Amino acid sequence: MDTVLLNFFEVQYWRPLQAVGGQLAFTIPANSSQVEVGGFPGVDTLLLDVTNPNNAVYIAPSIGADAGGTFHILFQDPSPNPKTYFALSPNLVQTPSSMSTWQPGLLDNASNAADYVLITPRAFLQAAQPLCDLRKSQGLQVKAVAVEDIYNEFGYGFPVPDSIKSFLGYASQNWIKPAPTYVLLLGDATFDYRNRMGTGKLSQVPAHLSITDQLGLTPDDNWFVALDGIDQIPSMQIGRLPSANPGQVTQVVQKILQYEGATNAVTPNSLFVADNNSPTFQTDCESFAMLLPTNVTAKKIFLSQYTNFTQCTLDIVSAINQGTVLTTYVGHGDVTDWAGEQVFNASYIPLLNNASQLTCMLMLNCENAWFAMPGEYSLAESVVGAQGRGAIAAFGSSGLGYEWEHNLLGTHFLSLFFGGGGNAAIGAICTQAKVAAYKDGATADLLRTFTLIGDPATRVKLPK
């Protein structure tokens, strides 16, 4: 099946030079001896030559009255080249909603040094400080950066993802070593940057959308740290945490502090959930279970063994509440659900009471980490953002994928997760797993789409 992605189309047509709503932008051909534009409500109409939008020039036209109570402007332009103008009533001139003095953050100073970089809106920095303090206490050099400073220093003030990548590229090449190892993006994202859809979800730390083979435009945090300009191999470990306001930042930060500060024994279970749509999903779970160390018990919930899927959901919730260091789902899914039967989604998260042992989640399906959806959160974001329950981190796809490459990824992930004896950074596990899967033949889209929802510096906890 072919897919056609429409970027834009243009329609050119002749029309009278008549203002609409008191304004009109128009282009006139070369050697125009006299130009008349009508339909303005007053005699004080402004006219600007915006042929060069960075150097607009005021023009003083003649103004005359029309029979219908409106006014027209009249001017000459014998230029040998086409020119573009903008005419408007003075009451339509816009002014900034606010202005403030900006103090440079000096991010382009080569004397900077950090191996942990937290990027978040300025309004979130205070709420994020306890997490920065924790990382400092663990021996990391920490740099908390207001995303607004990145826009100003690397993006000419525009709130676009390209400025973040430029900043990370500069830091990697120019800051004192160690160059950044961990990058945490702290704040909501949406592809609806300007809230045209009216959902109210704001782009606190913007998403980059890459073209993937199966889905088209797809959120891609890996793009920020694929810095060598040749392929999609990440140069840093990157993760993202959802937050709409400082209160939610405090919530996700406290969750990390409590997880890493807990001293209780870890229940030696690992949960595997397999969809019933294809027998390969169950086979994958069986092969993953064989990778567990001898001191970890595999708990298996296979949809093929259920006729009552409500019971399947209750069994998943019960297994997580009993304690599981890793919860792995293999099968079909979408942004907010596991399986066509929706055996697990955000509506079931309130049933979890596993605050004393938060799980990590590996979501080997499609779109569970589609973190840039306007007006809602993906399942990975919901289960990590939930207060006092759920997951400390979730590794899932923001796009579509194949079962065979998910099998490669899962094999490497479990080997790394349990092979280090505990205390490995979740960011290193995720990054190394997808690079290894890619080297084994997985598509470049797997590198682009598999996303860590969590702090990449979080150390996973395993049973002794």
pLDDT for 1 equals 58
What would the pLDDT profile of 200-214 be if each residue is shown by its tens digit?
A: 999 999 999 999 998
H or E stretch including 311? Answer: helix 309-322
Assigned domain for 8 exists? no
Cα–Cα distance, 342 to 307 (Å, whole number): 14
Which residue, 49, 73, 92, sits at the end of a domain?
Answer: 92
Assigned domain for 389 exists? yes
Assigned domain for 145 exists? no
Q: Is the pLDDT of residue 441 over 70?
A: yes
Q: Is the pLDDT of residue 355 over 90?
A: yes
- For range 231-235, the mean pLDDT: 92
Strand arrangement of the beta sheet that strand 269-274 belongs to:
142-146, 116-120, 182-186, 237-241, 450-453, 391-397, 359-364, 326-330, 269-274, 297-302
What would the pLDDT profile of 307-353 be if each residue is shown by its tens digit?
A: 999 999 999 999 999 999 999 999 999 999 999 999 999 999 999 99
DSSP letter, residue 392: E
pLDDT for 421 equals 64
Assigned domain for 132 exists? no
pTM given for the model:
0.85
DSSP 15-72: ---B-BTTEEEEEE-TTEEEEEEEEESSS--EEEE-SSTTS-EEE--EEEE-TTS-EE
- For range 48-65, the mean pLDDT: 93
Write out the residue range of the structural domain in which residue 346 sits: 262-453
Assigned domain for 232 exists? no
pLDDT for 97 equals 86
In contact, 148 and 205? CB cutoff 8 Å? no
CATH code, domain carrying 267: 3.40.50.1460
Which residue, 92, 120, 139, sits at the end of a domain?
Answer: 92
Q: Is the pLDDT of residue 76 over 70?
A: yes
Assigned domain for 111 exists? no
pLDDT for 96 equals 87
Q: What's phi and psi for 92, nearest 5 deg?
A: -95, -5
Instruction: Tell me how many domains the chain contains.
Output: 2
Which residue, 92, 124, 151, sits at the end of a domain?
Answer: 92
pLDDT for 335 equals 97
Assigned domain for 348 exists? yes
Cα–Cα distance, 244 to 347 (Å, whole number): 20
Assigned domain for 173 exists? no
Percent residues over pLDDT 90 in the chain? 85
Cis peptide before 82 (omega within 30 of 0): no
